[in-house]
Amino acid sequence: MKFAKALRIIDSGLNPGFMVTFEWKNGNMLRSDYFPDKHAGEKLIETEREAWKLAQQFAAKTKGKCINIYVARGDNLCPVFATQTKPLSTSTTEPTSAKA
């Protein structure tokens, strides 16, 4: 592919937008949720970087209440794997080991 064609694709504005998805902990039950709510007409997050930043902030503020926080593409809801971001840990307890 010629570089000019690649730049046209990049500049075409085909940005799927991004959402932060997570699960609320409620005892032994989990309830999936996400923001922004594209089905309610809310504008999606413009960049993947901004979505991961919001996901980190959300994880910090909901520690122990929400788990499995990640960024998803707005067009197909597939997870986006962060290449420079550590996994978001919201665990408040250390793993337990079996006692002998």
- pLDDT tens-digit readout, 83-93: 544 455 555 44
Q: Which residues of the chain fall below pLDDT 70? A: 13-14, 82-100
pLDDT of residue 64: 85
Domain limits for position 40? 15-80
Residue at 9 is within a domain: no
Cα(33)–Cα(69) distance, rounded to whole angstroms?
10
Residue at 92 is within a domain: no
pLDDT of residue 83: 52
Number of domains in the chain: 1
Contact 14, 44 (CB under 8 A): no
Residue at 61 is within a domain: yes
Residue at 24 is within a domain: yes
Residue at 2 is within a domain: no
Residue at 22 is within a domain: yes
- pLDDT tens-digit readout, 13-26: 667 899 999 999 99
pLDDT of residue 96: 44
Residue at 7 is within a domain: no
pLDDT of residue 100: 42
**Burial degree of 67 (CB within 10 A; 0-12, 13-18, 19+):** middle
